[in-house]
Amino acid sequence: FVAPPHARSAARAAISLRWRPGRQAASTIMSAHWMDHLKFGGSTPSFDVIEKTKDYIAATEASRTEKNPASEYYAEDYLFRGPIIGPITNYDVDATQKDFNISSAYPDLDRGVFGFTIDPQNPYRCMFFERWTATHTGTLKIGDFLSIPPTGKRVELPTHLTTIVWNPEGKIVYQSLSPPIDRFEGNTKGAGAIFGLLVAAGLEAPSAVGDISLILQQKFINDILKGGLGLGKSWSSEED
């Protein structure tokens, strides 16, 4: 890829502004980003991205009672990434979720989805908010050794942002989940998504980005146990 003359001139000017002694860097440096390939060369989707995202969400809801009807939406190179999870493949995501049986422990889980919008810099990327609520009425299984009986507790989680990137063929190639937007929301001590549900059930699990105990725990489970003992993986290997 060769940038047009005006782009090359702008880049040179930006670099000059940044490094010239006595002058502040007031211009944006043009540089490649690993997510640029998710813009698919600046093409335009042939489908309604928001409506397709809503169809996918409906399929994930149906997955609680049916045999994963959402699986047809994922591209072969699909990756998921969260604040402290990922990058992880769909195969490893499914395996981990089965080991934690969240749907059985919280059968009335409502993701509270709202605020759909399209990224103005990428027409293939849909963003929306989620504010989960649920009641802990079933036994929560964590790996092969720990089960937490139902507490009957009503759970309200802080809002987070979800983003989904579709490819030109209409398959999801990348999905991400943000940390809680406002950690003072809800009754899970600032923990969001799956970690929030674990905290609500009574498991004091570290969930903060950069928490050294969490990092060591994840490395042990991933690198030593290889996701065994029903604990699942936090990220997939490069081979996956």
- Per-residue pLDDT of 77-95, as tens digits, reads 999 998 877 788 888 877 7
Beta bridge partners of 110: 133
Q: 137 or 35, which is more confident?
A: 137
For residue 34, what pLDDT is reported? 80
Residue 154 has pLDDT above 90, yes or no: yes
Residue 47 has pLDDT above 90, yes or no: yes
Mean pLDDT across 210-218: 54
For residue 195, what pLDDT is reported? 86
Query: Range with the lowest mean pLDDT among 34-43, 48-57, 225-234?
Result: 225-234
Coil, strand or helix at 114? strand
C-alpha 39/C-alpha 71 separation (Å) is 23
For residue 10, what pLDDT is reported? 33
Q: Report the mean per-residue pLDDT for the chain.
A: 78
State the alpha helices, DSSP H only, in the chain: 5-19, 49-62, 90-100, 102-105, 193-200, 212-219
pTM over 0.75: no
Mean pLDDT across 162-186: 96
Q: 31 or 195, which is more confident?
A: 195
Query: Range with the lowest mean pLDDT among 58-62, 88-92, 179-183, 205-209?
Result: 205-209
- Per-residue pLDDT of 2-16, as tens digits, reads 333 333 333 333 333
For residue 90, what pLDDT is reported? 83
Quick one: tokens of 84? 């402290």
Q: How confident is the model at residue 179 (pLDDT cuts 50, 70, 90)?
A: very high
State the alpha helices, DSSP H only, in 90-206: 90-100, 102-105, 193-200
Q: For residues 114-132, b (16+ Cβ closer than 10 Å) or e, as one string? A: eeeebeeebbbbbbbbbbb
